[in-house]
Amino acid sequence: MKEIVIISGKGGTGKSSICCALAHLWKEDAVIADCDVDAADMHLILHPQSSDSKDFFSGVKAIIDPKVCSSCGLCASVCRFDAIRKHEGKYLVNELDCEGCAYCYHICPTGAISIPEQNVGQYHISQSRLGCTLVHAALNIGAENSGKLVSKVKSEARHQAKLENKEFLLVDGSPGIGCPVIASLSGAHFVVLVTEVSKSGLSDLKRVWELVKKFKIPGACILNKADINPDICKEMKEYLHKEKILNLGEIPYSEDFPAAISMGKTLIEQNESTWRPVFENMGNAIKEKI
């Protein structure tokens, strides 16, 4: 079973659309994992029917029991995040500001503070309308994505892929360069970078590739909106060549991307004759490299 992770440094590059298109092509051979948990979008195209949903617990928040609180204020004095304020004589924790460091919990002289683990969201194992399994998660407001959640989503997806005897695990990776991206990448056999051909796209590509290089995972790149800026496109191709990143191809700026999304379709459903050959070629190139 081969794991292919699709990432892009910044948003709006077309990563999710491209991931859905590949999912469409490989629907019989793959399980899909949506690890872009802060802004999980694939379910809008794949319309999953959940067959299994589980709560996800991560991190703690401090809670002060007013009945036990002696109003000494020690907690507020040690909190580095300004999360504890006095309210009507007692001290209260502002949930949004609390970082779960538990310093107040350790220091409270009356034991008025507890640190329950937080239910920060749910992850689902679902059937997508294309027929393939989609493992995805949704975080509650203000909750932070983490390597833990991404790993959970991936391990559930891997488990499903083994159960269903699928050849590929296609992962829609987390954006940025932090812990969730690292967890998205860990265990991958191949990385596909989706980049937008623009000045900001180029600088983001470089930042992300620096991170990927640490993991010694072979990579390829798709240049989206390639005809918008031929100069940057050339510069990007030179960078890919220098860094030995496989150039999967250039996709011109296309109205099909937003149109497909607004219709809730994959690119291939939106315009089969154009997009099927494009993604088939890319898919084959990826398969060859693995």
Partner 1 sequence: MRIAIASGKGGTGKTTLAVNLALYAAEFEPVLLMDLDVEEPNGSIFVEGEVQSETAIYRNVPQWDQGACTLCGKCTSWCAYNALLKLGDTILVMPNLCHSCFACSELCPVQALPMIQESMGKLLHLQRGKLNFVETKLDIGLEQASPLIAESLRFADKHFQNTGMQILDSPPGTACAMISAVKTADFVVLISEPTPFGLHDLKLAVETIRQLNIPFGVVVNRDGIGNDDIYEYLQQEDIVLLARIPHQRRIAELYSQGRLLYKEVEEIRTALQNILGYAKELR
Partner 2 sequence: MKIIFTSSGESWDSMIDPRFGRTDFILLYNEETDELSSIDNRDIKDVAHGAGPKTAEKIFGLKADILITGNGPGGNAASILRKLPLKIFVKAGGMTIREAYEAYKNNKLEQGL
In the complex, the residues that contact partner 1 under the rule CB under 8 A are 9-13, 16, 38-39, 41, 44, 60, 78, 80-81, 96, 99-103, 106-107, 139, 141-145, 175-179, 196-200, 203-204, 207, 210-211, 225, 228-229, 232, 253, 255, 258-259, 261-262, 264
Decide whether 22 or 62 has the Cβ nearer to partner 1: 62
Residue 270 binding result from partner 1, partner 2, none, given CB thresholds of 5 to 8 Å by partner type: none
Cβ contacts of residue 191 below 8 Å, gap of 6+? 4, 5, 6, 7, 185, 212, 217, 218, 219, 220
CA 218, 224, 227, 229 dihedral sign is negative
Residue that is written with structure tokens 């309308």 in the block: 129
Residue 151 binding result from partner 2, partner 1, none, given CB thresholds of 5 to 8 Å by partner type: partner 2
Residue 189: alpha-carbon gap to chain centroid: 17
Q: Does 218 bind partner 2 (CB under 8 A)?
A: no
CB 37 within 8 A of CB 216: no
User: Could you tell me how many residues of this chain bind partner 2 (CB under 8 A)?
Assistant: 20
Which region holds residue 258: left if phi is over 0, alpha if psi is between -120 and 50, else beta? Answer: alpha
Residue 103 binding result from partner 1, partner 2, none, given CB thresholds of 5 to 8 Å by partner type: partner 1
Residue 253 binding result from partner 2, partner 1, none, given CB thresholds of 5 to 8 Å by partner type: partner 1
Binding site for partner 2 (CB under 8 A): 58-59, 146-149, 151-152, 155, 179, 182-183, 186-189, 214-217
